[in-house]
Amino acid sequence: MAQIHEHDAMICRACGREERASEGYPCTTCGTFICLICTFQGVTQCAKCRGEPIPTPPMPPATNA
Ligand SMILES: [Zn+2]
Ligand SMILES: [Zn+2]
């Protein structure tokens, strides 16, 4: 049984978070993924194009499976 699971998440190159690729916009310089949250905050370029290091997102609680 193949389950079709559309996982379109991408890492935002401005904030480092994983967001839905279909809801983001490309960096105006290099075209890499910028998430919708950053776009709302006026970010149109990724951290690299702004000459900044890509921030690391807060780690989710560790899950010991
Ligand atoms: Zn972002
Ligand atoms: Zn860029």
Q: Which domain holds residue 35?
A: 9-40
In a domain, 20, yes or no: yes
pLDDT for residue 39 is more than 70 = yes
Q: How far is the CA of 1 from the centre of ligand 2 (A)?
A: 40
Q: How far is the CA of 46 from the centre of ligand 2 (A)?
A: 4
Q: What percent of the chain has pLDDT over 70?
A: 86
Q: Please report the pLDDT score of residue 62 as a whole number.
A: 78
In a domain, 57, yes or no: no
Q: How far is the CA of 39 from the centre of ligand 2 (A)?
A: 13
Q: What is the CA radius of gyration of the chain?
A: 14
**pTM higher than 0.85, yes or no?**
no
In a domain, 51, yes or no: no
In a domain, 18, yes or no: yes
DSSP 45: S
Do the beta carbons of residue 26 and residue 36 sit within 8 Å?
A: no
DSSP 21: G
Report how many domains make up the chain: 1
